[in-house]
Structure 1
């Protein structure tokens, strides 16, 4: 098969790019062809491309892209010329131009949409009026026209049912996965600490993700402020690009005089990211809304105990395996989870063991990619 993924394939977009990378690696190994069509803003850093795949970058078209996310005349022109060459076009996410464009070009290519958590009620309420307009104009109709809607879990299934008001026949649960073997050999411990001027006695609480309120930073920051006096060696590392919450974060740090306890290190990529996982004492993500958090899976694969909400995209698996400390979405709940892991090594050790088992048994890309390929084969048009 010849497969076209459409996604903003950048480091800043985070999880979806990693998901495409891992899935593409496995798909190529099985002899299929993969292209990635990516709307880009000048200066954005594209995600690594698996050997054998092709990345096609398209400039976003201003000023329209400021109001209609990822709008790109170049992307539309590429589809108009080449879409008929593919067997599958896989759109990642909704609400943006990339998930609309394939329907604007006359073609008979099988169309797949992965929701990536964007029908979660928290996500729907964000920019609610814009999404209401898009829903009315085309979004609900296009979901009905897609040959396959990929969702990751039963929570997302309920989100789709609530949004559409009916159960589409073309919907299937296939979790996202990751290449576990990529994390088999982490960098030596101490490298990240040395770069940050931290000693072996510091306890690193790692947050990795876009600085967006939906990640639960309004809970994490005051939660950490509650515990830092009780655990003075605890350091909160915020690793990620600004996505609307950087200024609020900086203001909180200044107001509470926490500059020596909370560090904003920007987006970490490649080896820097693995160095951070290698040195972290725990990973925290009290998110209100995630499609499927690859960052949490990465932490678990690196055997870092985690404090997360049940909205990270695979809460049912976490509950089944007791694979993380599931925090309620409260300041006190987040603080209690961090304290329990930092102060109870045996508890932390049990979490990391169960989490690694959960990931390897359910989310290794060699398992997950084959599930999605089988769904592709069912809808491919001869």
Structure 2
């Protein structure tokens, strides 16, 4: 008997490994307690609305990383993308991808016209639900007609999961829920439809603990759920000597550089970081895109960076500053930890749940003065930066992609009872 409870604190019931499979295509790899991965999925189809494109490289990078991680672990993976034509046009994507291999993973693109044009009317419950209907109908048409997908599926995120569960009722479908508020998603999709369809999932992977608890409280034993924070890809994020990376990137080796990575929106706080830099001797390297673009004289860079190159840019900086107002668990934080960066982050529960003062300087995310204080604290104390760097590299291991693949494989290796 594989002792799941001793391997991990999974919210699942163990079973006889000899009886596992039943359409899942499972291979027993090991039953050793010392080995993280006791089971491996042979085949997996990943369904998503978002995936990196040439002009929008940061969109859906986590999906590609996960697919590549499963592929490296020996699982045969394919990705099915259903994209809105209007959304791609808005992002200035000049060509629409078709079937292709991306980092060794076969990706198939399907398209539908649009979810609809947002309006004042569409912001109401009925309007939001009808806009979702366009994607829901398109998914049922496109995905139910496809014959080549594998019977074990993983959907990103709840809206994709609802549509896929309706389109492929005979498949074994797992749903990953991100950081977005699930009650808000429930209202947008339609409470009746959401409550009827989501519990059909074989299991739910929740990025945020809040969403995992929300699912348990609402659906109880009807749904198997596991909380797994977003991982970082060990192939891209690891310690690199700062002087070497700065030379590669053509950066000034004498400046103290602060990294910010994420969408340029109010919730993430790029403009608050830019304002805080004016009170320090540090300079900013802003990696992302969005409406709030930092433009002060202390900004060295403010543009998107593909996920596979983000590790180099982080490694060229002296610290990561992320004054988010709300997160599940920001992937960029653990990516920066793996690169050995000290942290200046929001003093909020979502950070305190996995970080301590040994990893980060905690600040009020709404106070520019307090963000500046945190930056100056690390600028003035190179010994603290060095100690925090070593601690963050050590602590980042449990958030690696390979660790998450192991846990997901085990979670998905038991049939829904």
The answer to whether the 8 Å contact 1:35/1:55 transfers is yes
For residue 238 of structure 1, the aligned residue among 250, 269, 286 is: 286
Match of 1:29 in 2: 72
Aligned to 2:346: 309
Q: Distance in 2 between matches of 1:13 and 1:314?
A: 26
Does 2:329 match 1:292?
Answer: yes
What CA distance in whole angstroms lies between the structure 2 residues aligned with 1:346 and 1:289? 30
SS of the residue corresponding to residue 99 of structure 1 reads helix
Native 8 Å contact 2:274 2:298 kept in 1:
no
Q: Displacement of 1:335 after TM fit?
A: 2.0
Other-structure match for 1:5: 46
Number of positions where the alignment pairs a residue of Structure 1 with one of Structure 2:
348
Q: Which residue of 1 aligns with 2:37?
A: none
Q: Distance in 2 between matches of 1:65 and 1:34?
A: 34
Structure 1 unpaired stretches of 5+: 254-258
Which one has the largest radius of gyration? Answer: 2
Relative distance call for 1:289 and 1:88 in structure 2 (3 A) is farther
Once the two structures are superposed, the pairs formed by residues 1-382 of structure 1 within 5 Å of their partners are 1-7=42-48, 8-10=50-52, 12=56, 14=58, 17-40=60-83, 41-42=88-89, 43-44=92-93, 49-51=102-104, 53-62=105-114, 64=116, 68=131, 71=135, 75-82=139-146, 85-94=149-158, 96=159, 98-119=160-181, 132-160=187-215, 164=218, 169-184=223-238, 186=240, 188-191=244-247, 194=250, 199-217=252-270, 219-225=272-278, 227-228=279-280, 231=281, 234-242=282-290, 245-246=291-292, 249=293, 253=295, 259-269=296-306, 272-309=309-346, 315-319=352-356, 322-331=358-367, 332-360=369-397, 362-379=398-415
Q: Give how far 1:366 is off.
A: 2.3
Structure 2 unmatched ranges of 5 or more: 1-41, 123-130
TM-score (norm 2): 0.72
Rounded to whole Å, the distance in 1 between the matches of 2:136 and 2:195 is 22
- CA separation in 2, counterparts of 1:48 and 1:314? 36
CA RMSD of aligned residues (A): 3.4
Q: TM-score, normalised by structure 1?
A: 0.77
User: Does structure 1 retain, via aligned residues, the 8 Å contact 2:179–2:208?
Assistant: no
Given that 2:231 and 2:404 are in contact with CA atoms closer than 8 Å, whether structure 1 keeps it comes out as: yes
> Hey, what's the Cα distance between the residues in 2 that align with 1:312 and 1:77?
42
Shift of 1:34: 1.1
What are the superposed Cα offsets for residues 294-322 of structure 1, whole Å, 9 maximum, x if unpaired?
A: 22222111112121236696642223x83
CA distance in 1, matches of 2:302, 2:404: 32
> Offset of 1:102 from its aligned partner?
1.0
